[in-house]
Structure 1
């Protein structure tokens, strides 16, 4: 028999009705499902909104149907384990994160309401870590239903995690909206340590970088860097240096960009972190490429590629695509064909990473010097996809290439169309409108 006593409501800030609502939603039950045969739906609604208190007998029956006890005991140990699990997700230790999730999932069944709510919040962060956006969306919807019973810290975590969700969907304006709410909540709470503040600043830096608000990105990333350096978090310091390198590259400060990347490289070598090393080599490749230092860019992209043995397919294909573009810029068709075949061999399904199927097909046409057929393929297949996915850079790149080709053939109407397309996309990318 599940025990319920009258002291339940005094042991937590959450009222009995709020707790019942939380567990009902957590069990995916409607009010009708919980109330059936015990009380009316309207009476349950009043209880859940803390407008009335149920009798002990009614509370007992509701708890039995939910399979919970509302006796609130201190779960300091489990709560500490939850916080430790959350911090692991900020350090990307994959196996340990998954193991902790399984362990905590078993322990949490006997936890109190507050601890259980933290588990659901951090479960949202876990699915974001796994990039399981569908499951994350379901959890966000569930959490929104008991947003009114969050304490300050819960509210902070929810806003922060919602921002990460929006960022993953490339909805950067929405991400910034939630980050700004989280920042205000963070300022009102003294219980967070400095690493939490630094992580939030880093998220601001990432998001402002994606919206090309480079000065703001540099400001927030520098704040995060100073905190991570003060607490000797070398990995996060390296990540900040990489982001600063990207920002400096975008505003043409190439020397400062290279300096940031090389500082990050030293840190990643001391940590023996292959993921970071691959990321740094890739970004050094992009830095040298934009300066038309193609041999140096190729060297960095190749180093990045060969460090990606355990990485996802999209990461490897990204390196291959960058190598293709560099060899194409050097007019080295032999190396282009070599890397094109490597890339195509990694794509085993036509539905897999469609973007790269299109890139590689474009290079097939280019290497065959078949620009007229590329024109048709680009118009009918590639351009609609790129526009739908908001991929401005490849539209600009290939529109310009086709424009130059048609101009050289004296097909000025076609050339004019592609130059116009290129200009329109450039306006969007550089906010000239």
Structure 2
């Protein structure tokens, strides 16, 4: 055990193995000591302790205050999406975290790891750390740690598009706020996360209020990147509530900020939401242009949403050749993602959305439309309880049966579409 404690103190002092063992023993021998493969003799241990400027009694002292400060700094870099800084803190903390048996420190490490891997979109590691966090009992934890638990587990549920679960977790965290003294950047982050969550459950009024609360704080301290991102989310909430004029105003502000700070990710998000605004205003060509611009600024899985936006508009325009061309872009993007990482529910969702267009508009595949809709596509969205997608696909099934003069079947599918929309509204 002395080896691991030597390693902890060396890392804490940011020294290399060579600096500690030079003139005492070889690096390979010292490495075996640190990994507890060899127990050093007392005289050798004393020389190493002297090199570290600590006593034998001090060897086992681990600094919980320091690791908590590092965890807080790591979390802050994740909130601000400072990827390189976050990677640096992750490396330092990973080397030290095993020395701390405190349950709160272990839980905070697991929770912040979840946020880090959400930022990096590493699905398997998100799941691993969710399991680790859930394995730690919440009993006898501080109120602040429990707040972080519900907030970050809420964000994780939102990442997996389980918005009802996300909302419940966020509401639990919200109920704790008044009894806590939180850092300003944590409160801003929480209001924005909760605003995003309730937006997806259809509570547009609460979403607008929460996002505005975060934006007021961002603007007071000139946090331009956070302000720009918040305005894109606010624009979505305003658009879905039918306030197109204010939506356009917020998108214009976000575009100006993206130019000021030269941030392409922010511009891509703004263009995606601008495309959604044009689509809702029935301006298909303008929507397609915005989606295409967003697509060009993005890579990987971030391209799936603009591709789907383009497909929806070409469907409205009844342009089958363009649809098939963009379906191919979508399928190629998903295949590339599969080569890089494990297949996720997010990619599965878009793959099925793209297959819908393939079965409907590709002559060689159109004979599969009815069967694949019933066997593959609809069951997926029914299991996810995605009422908006279900209403859309039920309506397409109604059109299919109407076109084949099967009126009773057509009416039944249209009724299912209406029930899905009504269920979404009541929810």
User: Normalising by structure 1, what TM-score?
Assistant: 0.75
Shift of 1:415: 1.1
Paired residue total: 359
1:216-231 matched pairs, under 5 angstroms: 216-231=206-221
CA distance in 2, matches of 1:322, 1:386: 18
Q: Per-residue displacement from partner, 1:304-327 (whole Å, max 9, x unpaired)?
A: 00001xx333x2122212112212
* Counterpart Cα distance in 2 of 1:89 and 1:164: 13
2:394 maps to 399
Gaps of 5+ in 2: 3-56, 119-124
Structure-2 change in CA distance of 1:104 and 1:73 (3 Å): closer
For residues 174 and 387 of structure 2, the distance between their equivalents in structure 1, rounded to whole angstroms, comes to 31
Query: Which one of 351, 360, 367 corresponds to residue 354 of structure 2?
Result: 360
Which residue does 1:13 correspond to in 2? none
In the TM superposition, what is the alpha-carbon distance from 1:101 to its structure 2 partner? 1.1
Structure 1 429/87 Cα, relative in aligned 2: closer, same or farther at 3 Å?
Answer: same
Report the equivalent of 1:134.
Answer: 127
What per-residue deviation string (whole Å, max 9, x for no partner) do you get for residues 374-396 of structure 1?
12221122211221122333332
Equivalents in 1 of 2:95, 2:375: separation in Å?
A: 52
Cα offset, 1:70, TM superposition: 11
Contact 2:114–2:156 at 8 Å: present in 1 too?
no
| Alignment partner, residue 231 of structure 2 | 241
Aligned to 1:411: 406
Q: 1:253 and 2:239 equivalent?
A: no
Matches of residues 70-109 of structure 1 in structure 2 within 5 Å? 75-108=64-97
Once the two structures are TM-superposed, the CA of residue 299 in structure 1 deviates from its matched residue by 0.8
Question: What TM-score do the two structures reach when normalised by structure 2?
Answer: 0.76
- Whether contact under 8 Å (2:324, 2:362) holds in the other structure is no
Task: Tell me if the contact between 1:89 and 1:126 (Cα under 8 Å) persists in the aligned partners.
Answer: no
Partner residue of 1:41?
Answer: none
Alignment partner, residue 166 of structure 2: 175
| Residue in 1 that maps onto 2:176 | 185
Q: Does 1:344 align with 2:331?
A: yes
RMSD: 2.8
Residues in 1 aligned to 2:349 and 2:332: alpha-carbon distance in whole angstroms? 15
- Distance in 2 of aligned mates of 1:340 and 1:387: 23
**Where do 5+ consecutive residues of structure 1 fail to align?**
3-67
Distance 2:221 2:388 in 1: 38
Which whole-Å deviations, capped at 9, do the CAs of 1:181-232 have from their partners, x for residues lacking one? 4334332233x22222111111221121111111111111111110111121
